[in-house]
């Protein structure tokens, strides 16, 4: 078994430690570091607190999670897809790609929240993970990936298309409430833009 590359390992450790701090901290931690919509918080009642948007939240939200299962699944995907991509790209390009996907997912969620009028915090590294998934499918299209539920093996390129289609369907229909499906798609889109940018630079540099 190959060791986990340093940047991927560092992200997993940092995100896990942030989750442990989140568990041991008060409400103020989430109010400050989760991603909140733009604008003034609505009056949610005397027993419900809402935070306000701050620029750092576009990154910090990805280090928080909504529970152990949420954290575990994201870290498993980060290990599976991120390790291979870091070996392919190197540490610097890999981290650049990760944070671009996270940022794009956050911006997408801000736009969606503004258009729907919802005022709920967003947490989780899923935007970055979906960006990695897209890059994995493009760079290793014939690798076999097995869905968790149901356990169906399929090539990586098909896995990406299926997952993107599911996220789009769930986001449009609102079938799975409480999940930032459009943020996941935003992470994919941000990753795609980054790949396009790198490809264009490579062509121009020839």
- Residue written as token pair 């930032």: 180
Distances (CA, A) of 143 to 140, 151, 187, 201: 6, 16, 21, 27
- Residue written as token pair 């009028």: 117
Stated as kind and residue range, the H or E segment containing 153 is strand 153-155
Is-contact 97 131, C-beta < 8 A? yes
Backbone angles phi and psi of 97, in degrees to 5: -60, -45
Is-contact 188 135, C-beta < 8 A? no
CA atoms within 13 Å, Cβ hemisphere of 65: 21
Catalytic annotation, residues:
126, 184
d(CA 151, CA 155): 13
């Amino acid at each position: 078994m190959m060791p986990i590359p340093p940047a991927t390992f560092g992200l997993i450790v940092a995100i896990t430690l942030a989750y442990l701090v989140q568990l041991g901290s008060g409400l103020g931690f989430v109010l400050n570091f989760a991603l909140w919509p733009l604008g003034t918080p609505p009056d949610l009642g005397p027993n419900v607190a809402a935070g306000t948007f701050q620029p750092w939240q576009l990154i910090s939200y990805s280090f928080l999670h909504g529970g152990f299962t949420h954290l575990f699944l994201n870290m498993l995907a980060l290990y599976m897809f991120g390790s291979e991509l870091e070996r392919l790209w190197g540490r610097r390009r890999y981290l650049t790609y990760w944070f671009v996907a996270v940022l794009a997912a956050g911006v997408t969620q801000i736009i969606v929240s503004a258009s729907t009028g919802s005022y709920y915090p967003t947490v989780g590294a899923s935007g970055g993970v979906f960006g990695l998934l897209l890059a994995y499918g493009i760079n290793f299209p014939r690798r076999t990936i097995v869905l968790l539920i149901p356990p169906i093996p399929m090539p990586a390129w098909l896995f990406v298309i299926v997952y993107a289609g599911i996220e789009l369907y769930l986001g449009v229909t609102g079938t799975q409430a409480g999940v930032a499906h459009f943020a996941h798609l935003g992470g994919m889109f941000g990753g795609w833009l980054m790949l396009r940018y790198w490809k264009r630079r490579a062509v121009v540099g020839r």
